Amino acid sequence: MTQTPLIRVEGVSFGYTVNQSTTIPVLKDVSFQVNPGEYLAIIGHNGSGKSTLSKHLNGILTPQSGDVWVGEYNTRDRAQRKAIRQKVGMVFQHPDNQIVGTIVEDDVAFGLENIGVPAEEMKERIDYALNAVGMEKFRKRPPHHLSGGQKQRIAIAGIIAMMPQVLVLDEATSMLDTYGRHDILTVVDSLHEKGMAIVTVTHHMTEVTKADRVIVMEKGEIVMEGTPRDVFLRQKELGELHLDVPDASKIAALINQSFPAFAPNVITKSELIDEVKRVGTGVVHS
Ligand SMILES: Nc1ncnc2c1ncn2[C@@H]1O[C@H](COP(=O)(O)OP(=O)(O)O)[C@@H](O)[C@H]1O
Ligand SMILES: [Mg+2]
């Protein structure tokens, strides 16, 4: 069965214009799709073009050549901008820059007011969104007193309230401490379980292991694409791109060098332990 993609990125090239004349090329002929319900991770060294690419997914930036389609809408079509932003929600790195309301519920309501959702439905959607991120108790609070993780949850609530098909997270956990990160990942996992497609740009390789598919960017191009298991097996190539692999993958690869029976394509701690148990039962102790 072929699925209709939610987003199609087709041969996109883009550069930033500086000094009104010089264009610095950033994206070079990038093509990929985001499918319904999938969890896609985008990784790459700093400056490889991940944020520029993310901003193309909901029309914040539009291609210089090539096209981005969100469903049947081309992101160049200004008349469809609202519809596109409704289908594809984005959360950025800095929680402070995303808060617009002076109390939490107003902040969540902002996008809904923009698209003219009626008051009664607005209330229902705000309830639902704040509940989904576990922030209903903070409804009447001023957001600037909240922690970074809580602010990111409010930013996500504002997006969930719009009922998008795709949630794009551009290093949304990178400013947060371990607890804040864990909170956000739990919220994202539950949204994914409910069927929302997730596109996450991240430096945390443990986050990547949750994805169905990984895209690796280098100098504005997609240089690798596959399941986390297949991509993390290519440790040497990733190293050349200044990219890490999960600790479990490193350990498995090391053991595999001396004990080929030990599977190298391990990506999580629990898989590593299972592999130790599996292989360990066959080891002869001296
Ligand atoms: N607003 C901008 N104006 C000019 N150059 C930019 C701008 N934003 C990003 N760049 C440049 O584009 C390249 C890609 O940046 P970016 O998409 O932010 O990469 P990443 O998110 O992978 O770190 C970098 O060389 C960066 O310096
Ligand atoms: Mg970036």
pLDDT higher than 60, residue 1: no
- Number of the ligand closest to the Cα of 93: 2
- The pLDDT value recorded for residue 284 is 55
In the chain, the amino acid numbered 184 is I
- The pLDDT value recorded for residue 33 is 98
Q: What pLDDT, in 10s, does the model give residues 36-46?
A: 999 999 999 99
| Structural domain includes residue 195 | yes
Any residues with CB less than 8 A from the CB of 181 and at least 6 apart, and which?
A: 149, 173, 204
Any residues with CB less than 8 A from the CB of 237 and at least 6 apart, and which?
A: 224
Beta bridge partners of 88: 166
Please give the residue range of the domain that contains residue 88: 7-245
Mutate to test the pocket of ligand 1, among 18, 51, 53 (most ligand atoms within 8 A of CB): 51
Average the pLDDT over 207-222 and give the result: 97
- The pLDDT value recorded for residue 285 is 57
213 touches ligand 1 (CB under 6 Å):
no
Q: How many domains does the chain have?
A: 1
Q: Indicate which atom in ligand 1 lies nearest the CA of residue 217.
A: 22
* Residue ID of nearest Cα to ligand 1 atom 26: 47
| Structural domain includes residue 165 | yes
Based on the number of CB atoms within 10 Å of its own CB, is 217 exposed (0-12), middle (13-18) or buried (19 or more)?
Answer: buried
| Structural domain includes residue 277 | no
- The pLDDT value recorded for residue 274 is 95
Can you tell me the distance from the alpha carbon of 241 to that of 45, in angstroms, rounded to the nearest whole number? Answer: 7
Q: Could you tell me the CATH number of the domain that includes residue 99?
A: 3.40.50.300
Yes or no: say if 86 and 115 are a contact pair by the CB < 8 Å rule: yes
46 touches ligand 1 (CB under 6 Å):
yes
Can you tell me the distance from the alpha carbon of 271 to that of 102, in angstroms, rounded to the nearest whole number? Answer: 46
| Structural domain includes residue 128 | yes
Can you tell me the distance from the alpha carbon of 249 to that of 232, in angstroms, rounded to the nearest whole number? Answer: 7
- The pLDDT value recorded for residue 21 is 84
pLDDT higher than 80, residue 224: yes
pLDDT higher than 80, residue 265: yes
> CA triplet 37, 192, 3: central angle to 5 degrees?
5
| Structural domain includes residue 11 | yes
Detail the DSSP E strand segments found in the chain.
7-18, 22-34, 39-44, 65-70, 73-74, 88-91, 166-170, 197-201, 213-218, 221-226
26 touches ligand 1 (CB under 6 Å):
yes
| Structural domain includes residue 37 | yes
* Residue ID of nearest Cα to ligand 1 atom 18: 51
Average the pLDDT over 173-181 and give the result: 86
pLDDT higher than 80, residue 30: yes
From the list 149, 110, 111, 156, the residue with the least C-alpha distance to 130 is 156
| Structural domain includes residue 262 | no
- The pLDDT value recorded for residue 212 is 97
Q: What is the whole-number distance in angstroms between the Cα of residue 135 and the centre of ligand 2?
A: 27
Average the pLDDT over 136-162 and give the result: 92
- The pLDDT value recorded for residue 100 is 86
Q: Pinpoint the alpha helices (H) of 194-268.
A: 205-208, 228-233, 235-240, 247-258
- Number of the ligand closest to the Cα of 25: 1
* Residue ID of nearest Cα to ligand 1 atom 3: 16
* CA dist list (Å): 16 to 13, 56, 69: 11, 13, 21
Exposure on the CB side of residue 94, measured as CA atoms within 13 A: 3
| Structural domain includes residue 279 | no
Q: What pLDDT, in 10s, does the model give residues 4-23?
A: 999 999 999 999 998 888 88
